[in-house]
Amino acid sequence: MIPPDLPLRLKELPSHDQPRERLRDHGAAALSDAELLAILLRVGVAGTGVMQLAQQLLAEHRGWRGLMRADYATLCRQHGLGEAKAATVKAALEIGRRILITGGEERFQIRSPSDAANLLMVEMGHLDQEHLRTILLDTKNNVQTISTVYIGSVNSALIRVGEVFKEAIRRNSTALILAHNHPSGDPTPSTEDILVTRQIVEAGNLLDCDVLDHLVIGAGKYISMRERGLGFG
């Protein structure tokens, strides 16, 4: 018998409860969220088995999205994690995010402002500084990559318009979507946001790279500046 004060490893679970064996026999799709997370964690902590630890983490963060929003330092401080496990979890979630936006031949296609917002809101809606990012698109509006252009106040006096298009030019992107967050949680565009948008749209026209939209992201919500007619036209 395993003493109750020792962490329970995956290999110490009953065979029918071992996530790795279930994955081998039935495929990854058959596993629960907790089982998938337990495989990443590998071992629990004293008094808490690895499956219980995985369930606790998912419950505390309200699922994968919450774990993705949590920064590395926060996860490191979680009971039962530490640097190695936190790094494994963050790396796995980032791999999933990258697959979503650059999934080989079946790249994510932007058809509406909500498509673009869904790529960014989980993370950007909870940042404590303003980030200005670009979603770079090909001729079919498929996502090529998401690039962070600037961190800090989105201010026309500070932003170099050339930096906004630097990666787009390198990748020969035909269009891009701007996005920045408001740490206050209120996505209402400011006068400065409108001025910045107008300047970048004009530069895009000169560089033959269409600026399709500028999203302002708040806490769980966003505003499309093109839909509002702000900075466009």
What is the tens place of the pLDDT at every residue in 90-99? 999 888 877 7
> Looking at residue 113, what is its pLDDT?
94
CATH topology identical between 10-101 and 113-224: no
Instruction: Tell me what pLDDT residue 22 has.
Output: 82
Would you say residue 11 has pLDDT above 70? no
Tokens 């809101």, located at residue: 121
| Domain residue limits, the chain | 10-101, 113-224
pLDDT-derived band of residue 161, with 50, 70 and 90 as boundaries?
confident
pLDDT mean over 72-88: 89
Q: Give the predicted TM-score (pTM) of the model.
A: 0.63
Topology (CATH) of 113-224: Cytidine Deaminase; domain 2 (3.40.140)
Q: Just give the CATH number of 10-101.
A: 1.10.150
Per-residue confidence (pLDDT) for residue 101, from 0 to 100:
64
Residues pairing with 135 in the sheet: 146, 177
User: Per-residue pLDDT tens for 112-154?
Assistant: 999 999 888 877 887 888 999 999 999 999 999 888 898 876 6
78: left (phi over 0), alpha (psi -120 to 50) or beta: beta
Per-residue pLDDT band for 30 (boundaries 50, 70, 90) equals: confident
* Secondary structure of the chain in HEC code, one letter for each residue: CCCCCCCCEHHHCCHHHCHHHHHHHHCHHHCCHHHHHHHHHCECECCECHHHHHHHHHHHCCCHHHHHHCCHHHHHCCCCCCHHHHHHHHHHHHHHHHHHHCCCCCCCECCCHHHHHHHHHHHHCCCCCCEEEEEEECCCCEEEEEEEEEECCCCCCCCCHHHHHHHHHHCCCCEEEEEEECCCCCCCCCHHHHHHHHHHHHHHHHHCCEEEEEEEECCCCEEECCCCCCCCC
As a whole number, mean pLDDT of residues 95-106 equals 64
- In which band, very low, low, confident or very high, does the pLDDT at 156 lie, cut at 50, 70 and 90? low
